[in-house]
Structure 1
Amino acid sequence: MNEHKNIFVVGLNDFNRERLETLRGAERYRFLGVIEPEAVYDTELFDIGAMLDEATARLEAFDGTIDAIVGYMDFPVSTMLPILCERFGTRSTSLESLLKCEHKYWSRRVQREVIPDHIPAFTAFDPFDDEAMTHIGEAGLYFPFFVKPIKSSGSRLGFRIDTPEDFYHAIAQLRDSIGTIADPFNTVLKHAHLPPEIAAVDGHFCMAEEIIGGWQCTVEGYVFEGEVLSYGIVDSLRYPQVLSFFHYRYPSGLPENIQATMVKLTDTIMTHIGYDNAAFNVEYFWDEVQGRIWLLEINTRISQSHCDLFEKVDGVSNQQVTIDLGLGQRPDMPRRKGEFPIAAKFFHRVFFTDAVVTRVPTDAELAELLADFPGCQIAIQVEEGQRLSSLPEQDTYSFALAHVYLGAATAEQLLADYDQLVARLTFEFDEIQG
Structure 2
Amino acid sequence: MDRTESKHVFVIGLDDFNLAELQTVRNADEYEFHGLVDYDTMVHPPSYPMDAILAEARETLANAPAVDAIIGHWDFPTTSMLPILRREWGLPTPSLESVLYCENKYWNRLAGQEAVPECTPAFQGLDPYSDDPVGDLNMAYPFWLKPSVAFSSYLGFRIDDEQQYLQAMATIRDNIHVFAEPFDNILQYSANRAALPDHGSGATCIAEGLISGRLCTLEGYVHKGEVVVYAIVDSLRASNNVSFFSYQYPSHLPVGVRNRMISYADTILRHIGMDQSPFNMEFFWDEATDRLWLLEINPRISKSHCPIFQIATGASHHEVAIDIALGRKPNFPRNEGRFPIAGKFMPRVFGDTVVTRVPSREGIETLQKQHPELVVHVAVNEGDRLSTLRAQDSYSYEIADIFIGADSESALHDKFRHIMEVLDFRFSDVVPTNYN
TM-score class normalised by the smaller sequence: over 0.9
Superposition CA RMSD, Å: 1.7
The residue type paired with residue 26 of structure 1 is A
Q: How far off its partner does 1:206 sit?
A: 1.1
Q: How far off its partner does 1:78 sit?
A: 0.6
Give the whole-Å Cα distance in 1 for the aligned partners of 2:430 and 2:408: 36
Asked if 1:348 is matched to 2:347, the reply is: yes
Match of 1:278 in 2: 277
Asked if the contact 2:101–2:272 (Cα under 8 Å) also holds between the matched residues in 1, the reply is: yes
Equivalent position SS for 1:266 = helix
Asked if 1:15 is matched to 2:17, the reply is: yes
Give the whole-Å Cα distance in 1 for the aligned partners of 2:282 and 2:220: 11
The residue type paired with residue 214 of structure 2 is W
Q: How far off its partner does 1:242 sit?
A: 4.4
The 5-angstrom pairing of residues 88-237 of structure 1 reads 88-137=89-138, 141-192=139-190, 193-195=192-194, 198-237=197-236
Q: How far off its partner does 1:16 sit?
A: 1.3
Give the whole-Å Cα distance in 2 for the aligned partners of 1:175 and 1:244: 23
Relative to 1, partners in 2 of residues 1:60 and 1:225: Cα closer, same or farther, differing over 3 Å? same
Equivalent position to 2:362, from 361, 364, 367: 364
The residue type paired with residue 66 of structure 1 is V
| Cα-to-partner distance string for 1:15-72 (whole Å, 9 max, x where unaligned) | 111111221111111111111111011414111121111111221222x221011111
Equivalent position SS for 2:346 = strand
Q: How far off its partner does 1:136 sit?
A: 2.8
Match of 2:66 in 1: 65
Give the whole-Å Cα distance in 2 for the aligned partners of 1:401 and 1:208: 29
Asked if the contact 1:153–1:181 (Cα under 8 Å) also holds between the matched residues in 2, the reply is: no
Give the whole-Å Cα distance in 2 for the aligned partners of 1:6 and 1:198: 36
Moved more, 151-160 or 65-74: 151-160
Asked if the contact 1:352–1:432 (Cα under 8 Å) also holds between the matched residues in 2, the reply is: no
Asked if the contact 1:242–1:397 (Cα under 8 Å) also holds between the matched residues in 2, the reply is: no
Give the whole-Å Cα distance in 1 for the aligned partners of 2:290 and 2:131: 38
Q: How far off its partner does 1:295 sit?
A: 0.1
Number of paired residues? 429
Structure 2: gaps spanning 5 or more residues: none
Asked if the contact 1:357–1:383 (Cα under 8 Å) also holds between the matched residues in 2, the reply is: yes
Q: How far off its partner does 1:249 sit?
A: 0.5
Asked if the contact 2:125–2:207 (Cα under 8 Å) also holds between the matched residues in 1, the reply is: yes
The residue type paired with residue 74 of structure 1 is D
Structure 1: gaps spanning 5 or more residues: none
Give the whole-Å Cα distance in 2 for the aligned partners of 1:136 and 1:336: 50
Give the whole-Å Cα distance in 1 for the aligned partners of 2:153 and 2:90: 33
Match of 1:32 in 2: 34
Q: How far off its partner does 1:277 sit?
A: 0.7
Moved more, 391-400 or 39-48: 391-400
Give the whole-Å Cα distance in 1 for the aligned partners of 2:196 and 2:384: 47
Asked if the contact 1:123–1:208 (Cα under 8 Å) also holds between the matched residues in 2, the reply is: yes
Equivalent position to 1:427, from 407, 425, 433: 425
Asked if 1:307 is matched to 2:309, the reply is: no
Give the whole-Å Cα distance in 1 for the aligned partners of 2:164 and 2:289: 27
Q: How far off its partner does 1:432 sit?
A: 6.0
| Cα-to-partner distance string for 1:312-343 (whole Å, 9 max, x where unaligned) | 21222111000111111111103333111101
Give the whole-Å Cα distance in 2 for the aligned partners of 1:25 and 1:160: 46
Give the whole-Å Cα distance in 2 for the aligned partners of 1:12 and 1:21: 12
Q: How far off its partner does 1:239 sit?
A: 2.0
Match of 1:254 in 2: 253
The residue type paired with residue 76 of structure 2 is F
TM-score normalised per structure 2? 0.94
The residue type paired with residue 115 of structure 1 is V
Q: How far off its partner does 1:197 sit?
A: 7.5
The residue type paired with residue 76 of structure 1 is P
Q: How far off its partner does 1:373 sit?
A: 2.3
